[in-house]
Structure 1
Amino acid sequence: MPASNNNNPTRILLIRHGETAWNAERRLQGHLDIALNAEGERQAELLAAALASETIDAIVASDLTRARQTAAAVARAHQLPVHEDRALRERCYGGFEGLLYAEIAQRFPAEFAAWQARDVDAALPAGANRGETFRQFHDRVTGAMLRWAKAHPGKTLALVAHGGVLECAYRAAQNMPLETPRDFKVHNASVNRFVVENGVLKLTSWGEIGHLRPAVLDDLP
């Protein structure tokens, strides 16, 4: 690949997976592999239809099922393969995973308090998976996004990932400190547009969800 192409901006459509049953009940998923529910499958198909007319050169997904299912719907519309990347997984929450927010607060009050206070270097309790700090997570996912962009200069990538990944990308593109509260929404099956130019991530559009509105029936008697 010619070195002169490396400065060409790469366009990224960063997409959160469709809804899961655990999303609906506010149960923390992290690295636990939860599939889409019926609503999430519907959202994935609406997302695919909305992006069908757009140019997409490559599709990359987290290797977790909920992201792969969402990416597969987009891939079918574009007749493209889905590349999987474990580095695009959601943050690993260790012992928090599989619990409702209220249960986390009850079982791990100190760790929950640090999480809610946005202590970005706080350790998480042990669980089935080893937790990571928010800073470690942020570095992992933003690094993955920049690597894919560097490998596809001048192209358009669809990256299908998770809510935490979207948060990290937003913060990086807006130069928003990791310690500040999240004051922006992260929607299931949303399209969030970025460009990467000279190794810098820039936000161009956030939280596109118009495609998820229920279709209006036009054949009523």
Structure 2
Amino acid sequence: MPWHKPIKIDGGDELVIFMHGLWRSYRSMGPVVQAVTKAGYSTLNIPYPSFKESLEELVGRLHKTVEQERGNYSKIHFVTHSLGGVIIRNYLNSYEHSESSRVVMLAPPLQGSRIVDWLQRARLNFVLGPAGTFLSTESMVREIASFPEHIEIGVIMGNRVRIPFLHRIIDDESDGIVRVETGMAEGLKEFKVIHADHTLITLHQDVLEDVPKFLRTGSF
């Protein structure tokens, strides 16, 4: 919402920027932020209008934030959920970033979403805003599929479906929204699958342990 502001906690000389998913808020990243803060990092949990702006506009927002913080910390890392991972990938392929940075993506639809495809066929994609266009499998095929070699990327996908109807639409191993295989991309350092659904993966105990570990060591 317009009145939501970034929440910043200073705790170390390395900053971790958090980006939530589509139709979510910065509050959904709260448990992961807390875990990373306890691990000794400064954190910046940023809200953004995920359902109102184009991918290019969202990437531009992120770039502006990074530029504002760049001189204040020795390193800037990222932790994302869902759509946030797509934004980060486009940002990393559009702007130069530190070679020592690490990124953890939770349930990123890097190859698009069949749920979005279904909503388009049902003429319901308007509920997603611009994301209803650029998150389709057809649109994501046209995006750069890889990551820069000098950035260490770890992806955690879920494979729990709470709503059987969604499983019939996706018809593959998924978290109810995103297929497990859509989290794969060239240039990943680590890839892990846990028994979590798309919405609640940010609360999963494995995530709360693995995210700080990857930021610290580069592995899960």
Q: What is the TM-score of this pair, normalised by structure 1?
A: 0.35
Structure index of larger Rg: 1
Q: What is the TM-score of this pair, normalised by structure 2?
A: 0.35
Higher relative contact order (CA 8 A, sep 6+): 1
